[in-house]
Structure 1
Amino acid sequence: MAPHIGLARLDSLIPVEVAVAAVASAITELHEGRLEQPPRTVVADGQLLVMSALHRTTRDAVVKTLTIYDIDGSKRIEGTVLWYDGATGLPRFSVEAHRFTALRTGAVSGVATDVLAPERVRRLAILGSGAQAATQLDSCCVVREFEAVSVYSRTLAHAQRFVDEAKVRHPGLRFSVAGSANECVENADVVCCATGATSPLFDLEALPANVHVNAVGSFRPSMTELPAGLIDASTVTVLDDVAGCLEGSGEVRSAIEREFPISDLRSLGAVMESGVERHGRTVFKSVGCAALDWGVGKAIADRLESVVLS
């Protein structure tokens, strides 16, 4: 049996800064055609997801299965990540998928923020208070130095708990709990949306004229976090996986229905290669793709190998 990596060991093996670098490398591998990822399998509007990716040169592969259910009004995510060694074809290790997914999703927002957000920032807004929101905060703080963080959650107690825990990890930041989503984003330089919302979290008019927005919580056409018109009016809209977002992002599909040109949607890998002007409102939308899983899986495999060699 391949060894299973639990939550505590995962965090010790892969700190957030390592995850950000690993995902950046995987996005480049995908853009340059060295990673193969078929469309993910989606069952029952996202209650079951299966994602896989294989590196064409090393043959190292990752397969992730997730189940996502609403239980008593709270979203429960369970699943497993399996890493296959390209040299033997055998499973090398497994990882609990919930924390793994939050880690790689935060990491890709960190990469996007590094590419799209202004170099000098002060205020970060976090909408959401779960595991995904926590890694959004941690990853953005890897690539930019913030002074203040505003947090909004539909449940005040959840937002306060998030802030209390975040202060321990980031003692140099000033945290506040916003009374509304509009209040949360109104002075932000960077906004991170990590919720399961089915309607826009904030009004378009509440956003500053110059702001970078990461949206990672919604992953099915029935879900949306961003206000109508934000993608249409953004300086640039960047996607983790263009095909995946065209199929799974409610925000992107809605913009296309309003005749937003598909050709104006750019992949993160393409923008990393060419660069982009950082001004106005920029948007990064992620529905999650197997390349991100492969990147963190590769980092784990490398770390395990270094432990064996030492």
Structure 2
Amino acid sequence: MQKSELAIFDSKYVRKHLDYRSCIRVVREAMAALSEGRTRQLLRTMFQMGEGRTFAQMPGALGDSDMFGAKMISVFPDPANPGSRRHRGVIAMFEPEEGKPVCIVDAEEVTHIRTAAATAMATDILARRDARRLLIMGTGGQARTHLRALPLVRNFDRIAIWGRDPAKARKLVGEFSGALPVKPAGDIAAEAANADVICTLTGASEPILHGRWLRPGCHVNIVGSSGPGPVEVDSDLVVRSRYFADSRASALDAAAEFLVAREEGLVTDDHIVAEIGEVVLGKRNGRQADDEITAYKSLGHAVQDLAAAAHLYRSSRA
């Protein structure tokens, strides 16, 4: 953090001070507040800057007498990793008394951590208590943060890592082999059929996970696709699952796999059982049976970023 009236939290500071346990708690509180109407946010606005290049803005307020601000982010191809994209940007936060800007936070690092924290929070709520086998589908930055967050909510004794590039999956296994029971995934259909929890964390444009592969009682976190178009899971999975969203309004606008299933006439808007915040608040039930397949659609929201940034700012002041 640079010493000035306007605090600057760079990526190194965020990695050091935004710990996963605290972020899971902060995101849980933020999603409950969103579902209860205590926080406000607008749907994200995006415009294209050319092929594969996007600029997005996500404003919100944590409450009428709480901090407010906006996340501004670019999603551009990553020259260092052909075929992948990076989310770079800033979160600008304002205090509620005088409306002064008080801090600027690296958005890329916050996005990585709070997304994994949100997945861990949803997994803690929806997955079976005895879940022991985890399948990570993806090998990028989100795979790494999810491997740090998810073991905080379940005691996994087997973690398989799958990637469209097997070499990247093996590399990721090597990074975590000393700390977690990780292994490269074999046949993906067999791995999915053996998993208690699955996370899709890719930029895939066509389904990489199919509903027919899933075992009863499985929980799936659908994270990689954050807008209409590219889908990571097929319509059968959507139909078979008890389907939860971080925000109903956002899911109806941008949850790609749900929109495809609805367009095919397989589900209606009522197939979204609840927002995860409604489950946190006890207003709606989460998992109702051990053999039920549950799915959580993560689109990411300004209030998650703002809550994480506000936590960093207040912690620094304390």
Bin of the TM-score, shorter chain as denominator length: over 0.9
- Distance in 1 (alpha carbons) for counterparts of 2:105 and 2:214: 38
Q: Does 2:190 align with 1:186?
A: no
Q: Does 2:299 align with 1:287?
A: yes
Structure 1 length-normalised TM? 0.92
- Distance in 1 (alpha carbons) for counterparts of 2:249 and 2:146: 23
- Distance in 1 (alpha carbons) for counterparts of 2:186 and 2:63: 49
- Distance in 1 (alpha carbons) for counterparts of 2:157 and 2:34: 34
- Distance in 2 (alpha carbons) for counterparts of 1:252 and 1:226: 9
Q: Could you tell me which amino acid in structure 2 is paired with residue 213 of structure 1?
A: V
Using the TM superposition, name which of 264-273 and 23-32 deviates more: 264-273
1:140 alignment partner, SS class: helix
Query: 1:268 maps to which residue?
Result: 276
2:43 alignment partner, SS class: coil
Query: 1:225 maps to which residue?
Result: 232
Deviation (angstroms), 1:77: 2.1
Q: Does 2:249 align with 1:243?
A: yes
1:11 alignment partner, SS class: helix
Q: Give yes or no for contact 1:50–1:66 (8 Å, CA) kept in 2.
A: yes
Q: 1:117 aligns with which of 121, 127, 135?
A: 127
Q: Could you tell me which amino acid in structure 1 is paired with residue 231 of structure 2?
A: T
Q: Give yes or no for contact 1:62–1:293 (8 Å, CA) kept in 2.
A: no
Query: 1:176 maps to which residue?
Result: 183
Q: Give yes or no for contact 1:68–1:78 (8 Å, CA) kept in 2.
A: yes
- Distance in 1 (alpha carbons) for counterparts of 2:15 and 2:91: 15
Task: State the number of aligned residues.
Answer: 302
In structure 2, runs of 5+ residues without a counterpart are: none
Using the TM superposition, name which of 118-127 and 182-191 deviates more: 182-191
In structure 1, runs of 5+ residues without a counterpart are: none
2:70 alignment partner, SS class: strand
- Distance in 2 (alpha carbons) for counterparts of 1:95 and 1:181: 38
Change (3 A) 1:182 1:303: same
Deviation (angstroms), 1:240: 0.7
- The runs of at least 4 consecutive aligned structure 1 residues that moved more than 6 Å come to none
Q: Give yes or no for contact 1:62–1:297 (8 Å, CA) kept in 2.
A: no
- Distance in 2 (alpha carbons) for counterparts of 1:112 and 1:178: 24
CA RMSD of aligned residues (A): 1.7
Structure 2 length-normalised TM? 0.90
Change (3 A) 1:180 1:58: farther
Query: 1:137 maps to which residue?
Result: 147
Q: Does 2:222 align with 1:212?
A: no
Change (3 A) 1:67 1:278: farther
- Distance in 1 (alpha carbons) for counterparts of 2:45 and 2:209: 31
Q: Give yes or no for contact 2:62–2:303 (8 Å, CA) kept in 1.
A: no
Q: Does 2:160 align with 1:150?
A: yes
Q: Does 2:207 align with 1:196?
A: no
Q: How high is the sequence identity, in percent, across the aligned residues?
A: 27
- Distance in 1 (alpha carbons) for counterparts of 2:64 and 2:94: 14
Query: 2:317 maps to which residue?
Result: 305
- Distance in 1 (alpha carbons) for counterparts of 2:53 and 2:246: 18
Query: 1:3 maps to which residue?
Result: 7
For 1:87-126, list aligned pairs within 5 A: 87-126=97-136
